[in-house]
Chains A and B, each alone.
Chain A
């Protein structure tokens, strides 16, 4: 399931909803991304996440389909927030449920790595010098590339 929203999410409630009533599930993994208060040595007081409505949902759905094609998942969930966020706020949730831990761990890692290089979001950080667009990191490309199928 994909959700793109401004509102915060409740991790425990989301995970419970994924597994409720499905006793085939033996493993559930989750990754939550948070806003940090420092970036590249500068203090960040807040950030605004811009996205491309329509394409965001399309890309996230394709990434989720790909995870379900590669691993035997009983449930998967991606929630990504947009709008203004402050240090400590939750930005993104990726969660995967499967019969066994290996598929749940790997699919979750794959989803967050791919999401970071494909989902059309952009971070504008508020710093003491004014608004600053965050640059993409080559390490994120490298992290996504390791999941390429040979």
Chain B
């Protein structure tokens, strides 16, 4: 599974992307976030307030109950500020 981080989420995690193999019981975005928070490396800080986090799976916006699986591209980022 490929994880991508953007803007201040990237700054807090410390890297822009990584490839991970979460345990099989991680089945949705919320579970993945809990796993990343417990792992350390800035995860607890980056995901402290989930109201500030947007999630995309395979480049489409999703909610926290959206399933995730091996091979997915999952991105975490703040609300967008383009235009």
Closest to B79 in A: A136
| 1/0 contact string of B30-56 vs chain A (CB within 8 Å) | 000000000000000000000000001
- Asked if residues B8 and A119 are in contact (CB atoms below 8 Å), the reply is no
Chain B residues with CB under 8 A of A122: 6-7, 77-78, 80-82
Q: Which residues of B contact A44 (CB under 8 A)?
A: none
Find out whether the CB atom of A133 lies under 8 angstroms from the CB atom of B78: yes
Interface size on A, residues (CB 8 A): 28
One digit per residue, 1 when the CB lies within 8 angstroms of any chain B CB and 0 when it does not, for chain A 115-126 equals: 111111111100
A28–B55 Cα distance when bound, in Å, is: 36
**B75: Cβ under 8 A from any A Cβ:** yes
A→B interface (CB under 8 Å): 33, 49-52, 54-55, 58-59, 80, 91-92, 112, 115-124, 133-136, 140
List 9 A-B residue pairs with CB atoms under 8 Å apart, sorted by A's residue number.
A50-B7, A52-B4, A80-B82, A119-B82, A120-B77, A121-B80, A121-B81, A123-B82, A136-B78
